[in-house]
Amino acid sequence: MGFFDFFKQPDINQGVKEYRQQEGAVLLDVRTPQEYRDGHISGSKNIPLQTIDKVADLLENKDTALYVYCHSGARSRQAVSYLQHMGYRKVNNIGGIAAYRGKVESI
């Protein structure tokens, strides 16, 4: 990994594509409930960063592939770290919805 790779942001569009191709994968939105209601990626589950430990209620299998996003990528990076510490082995930070080019849905 080169020096500038450290600054490279995840590509949410590629991440969503990979999520959709992986059977049984879960797409996690770690923004607030209000942000989620205002617009989220179809099929995502909302578990705010502040309550990330609640993911254990949703996912017992620690080998489930998780694709995590937020608004800009900062909270998703933190969530990935927490999830890995909780024992989840296939956790992917796909960045922020602000860069998403697909359709979003609102509640």
DSSP character for 56?
H
Is 78 annotated in the active site?
Answer: no
> CA nearest 16: which of 45, 39, 47, 42?
42
DSSP character for 8?
P
Report d(CA 49, CA 21) in Å as an integer.
25
- What ranges in 1-107 are assigned the alpha helix state H? 12-21, 33-38, 55-58, 74-85
Residue 12 CA from chain centroid, whole number: 9
The residue annotated as part of the active site, out of 70, 83, 91, 94, is: 70
Residues labelled catalytic: 70
